[in-house]
Amino acid sequence: MSQRPRGRRPVQEITEPQRRTLKEIRLFTNRRGFPPTMKELADILGISHASAHGQVSQLVRKGYLKREPRKARGIAIVREPEASFGSLPEEAEMIMPSNDKPVGG
């Protein structure tokens, strides 16, 4: 008889709030050259400090972020999530024709 794994199944996909957290960390780091503190991240996301800490902890557990202990700005992005099917990144721009005439005709 084989044993079933104990506890919850590991979930590697990230939720929309986690995706937003990762995006805000990336934007802050790109703009300022260093990552946000937990307080800054909580303020940016409009959530409590504890919730921001929880989001970061889940992203660390799933392998998207890493943390340097005893540093206020000790979070770094390790990998980016794959785009889900049928969605475009918010930073992407769509180029649409400006008239109804066929191109080249």
Lowest mean pLDDT among 23-27, 60-64, 71-75, 80-84: 80-84
For the ranges 11-15, 55-59, 71-75, the maximum mean pLDDT occurs at: 55-59
User: For residue range 87-99, what is the model confidence (pLDDT) as tens digits?
Assistant: 444 444 434 444 4
What is the mean predicted confidence (pLDDT) over 79-87? 66
**Interval 63-72 mean pLDDT:** 91
CB burial class (10 A; 0-12, 13-18, 19+) of residue 59? Answer: buried
Q: Which residues of 11-33 are buried (b: 16+ CB within 10 A; e: fewer)?
A: eeebeeebebbbebbeebbeeee
Domain boundaries along the sequence of the chain: 16-77
Q: Which fold has domain 16-77?
A: Arc Repressor Mutant, subunit A (1.10.10)
